[in-house]
Structure 1
Amino acid sequence: MIRNVYYQIGRQTYDAKRITLYLNSIGMKCSVKKVRRYLKIADLKPINEPIKRKQNGPKEYLKGKYERLFKYPFRTRYPNQVWVVDITEKHYDNNIYYLCTFKDIFTKKAVGWAVNQMRGFQLVEAAFFNAINHNLTENILKELIIHSDNGTEFKGYQYNRMLKYAGCQISMSWIGRSKDNPHIESLWNIYKKEVLDKSEYTFDEFKYQTNLYFNWYNLERLRI
């Protein structure tokens, strides 16, 4: 049963804690220790298992263009309080595909995303409107903080005008400090391992697999 959950339910992404949580939810009582021991014997490891990196010493950081309203660890109390946004890219031969995603740090869901073969404000704009089209009211938008890094798209006039017109508050990481935006970094980490590392994609396949993955991520993937 553990093997079935690992391959069929978790799609090779569930660790011992998530497998145990799923088994307990369907009435099969077991411990994390037992599941972890089985996975070790069967040599089953989640494909998104984090890589341990060497920690660097203290570093000086510069402030971004906008004030850092979102400071990790930030405790949210309800959905649509803080969204984080970023752009990632994937190289396939001579092609580069770009993905922009907005993520709600309370629900841990990707609330809006867009893919394109070109990077720029239009990519961010498409992802933003994909997010706010989910029945968000004007009052919710006025309370919403949207946090990003110091990417060119997020420092531009068009991005500022779009969020200000919607009534959202802009927050920006300090320059070179990835720890200011850990929620989106963790999303990229699992997305790239669970989707992009599997095969080569045409742009249409890349777009289809991304939509398929985020729908599964939002609706079915267990959260701890």
Structure 2
Amino acid sequence: MKYELIEQHADQYDIRLMCRVLVVHPSGFYRWRDCPSSPREQRRDQITSLVRDTYEEFEAAYGAPRIARELNEQGYKCSINYIAKIMQEQRIVARNGKAFNYGGHALTMHNVADNLLWRDFTTERPNQKWVTDITYIWVENQWLYLATVMDLYSRKIIGWSFDESMTVELITEAMQMAIDARGVSPGLIVHSDRGTQYRSNEYVGYLERHGIKRSMSRKGNCWDNAVMESFYARLKVELIYAKNYQSIEAARSGIFSYIEIFYNRKRRHSANDGVSPVEFEERAAIAA
């Protein structure tokens, strides 16, 4: 999916810059474009993506030994040396000396929900299926965190929150914004990954009080939430890297404009017959 996104924007942005933003090697992109990748290359690309996701999930605190252990726990067999080499190539370095105490629950995977979505990203009407996730954005020498909620019906971002901490409050604020904007329809499903925030008792209880069904991706499987992953990839290529924000407020303002003005109201989406999410919903309402 990352290679496809790079190819789609090759006439707008420098390929090497997009590869750097999406954390892939230019040589890998060119190999993918020119010929099918081998099973070995496909596995390396998969593990590289998983390494990056695990590194970000644990706030840059994990080095190769812990990342290797985490991936092996998830069923991806790999050695510490293999992970260390990938981290070196990707310039991923753990924040030595900064401890982040997540407690024992980080690996026990409590409050895991069944995968109700099963990669079926189609819906017949609004408010049947929402997807949500968190992404990391590097601004002013620190990580910032963006949580978003998308309605799969039109691919519209209906809730989002941006802050300096990756907390339960961050994802709850994004979800509350979505609920305030759309309400909760009977049978509504909200799909996420297995991040610790989405498995917290506080967040689980919050969704239950609103009568929302939870759905979760399988272990280490980013493709189960591919639509949201694709949105974040576009956001980073089209906004974050292009603007290279130097302050938190500038980044916040830029993200607001991108989501609320450009993406939701202007950007054409292939899943919407080539129109923006807002226009797609307006047309559907008129036709109903």
Measured against the shorter chain, the TM-score band is 0.7 to 0.9
Write the letter of the residue equivalent to 2:209. Answer: Y
CA distance in structure 2 between the aligned counterparts of 1:91 and 1:191, rounded to whole angstroms: 13
- The one-letter code of the counterpart of 2:248 is F
CA contact (8 A) 1:68 1:174 kept: yes
Alignment of 1:1-224 (within 5 A): 45-47=11-13, 52=29, 54-56=41-43, 65-136=112-183, 138=184, 140=185, 142-198=186-242, 199-215=244-260, 216-224=262-270
Q: How many equivalent residue pairs? A: 181
Letter in 1 for 2:141: N
Structure 1 stretches (4+) deviating beyond 2 angstroms? 46-64
Give the residue type in structure 2 aligned to 1:118. Answer: S
Structure 1-normalised TM-score?
A: 0.72
Work out whether residues 48 and 190 of structure 1, in 8 Å CA contact, stay in contact via their aligned partners in 2: no
Aligned equivalents of 1:126, 1:48: Cα separation in 2: 35
How far apart in 2 are the matches of 1:120 and 1:195? Answer: 24
> Which of the two has greater helix per residue?
2
Task: Give the alignment's TM-score, normalised by structure 2.
Answer: 0.57
The answer (yes or no) to whether the contact 1:80–1:106 under 8 Å persists in 2 is yes
Q: Contact 1:48 / 1:189 at 8 angstroms: preserved in 2?
A: no
* Kept after mapping to 1: 8 A contact 2:131/2:151: yes
The code of the aligned residue for 1:206 comes to A
CA pair 164-194 structure 1, distance change in 2 beyond 3 A: same
Q: Percent identity?
A: 27
SS in 1 for 2:256: helix
Checking the alignment, whether the CA contact within 8 Å between 2:132 and 2:192 is kept in structure 1 is yes
How many angstroms apart in 2 are the aligned matches of 1:71 and 1:98? Answer: 26
* Corresponding residue number in structure 1 for 2:281: none
Cα distance in 2 between the residues matched to 1:156 and 1:135: 24
Q: Distance in 1 between matches of 2:198 and 2:214?
A: 9
In structure 2, stretches of 5+ residues that fail to align are 1-5, 20-28, 33-40, 48-71, 76-108, 271-288
Distance 2:266 2:218 in 1: 34
Structure 1 unpaired stretches of 5+: 1-12, 17-43
Displacement after TM superposition at 1:79 (Å) = 1.3
Q: For the residues of structure 2 that align with 1:112 and 1:47, how far apart are their CA atoms?
A: 28
Q: Which has the higher contact order (CA 8 A, sep 6+)?
A: 1
Judging changes above 3 Å, is the alpha-carbon distance between structure 1 residues 132 and 193 closer, same or farther for their aligned structure 2 residues? same
- The CA RMSD over aligned residues, in Å, is 2.7
How far did 1:135 drift? 4.3
Give the whole-Å Cα distance in 2 for the aligned partners of 1:47 and 1:82: 33
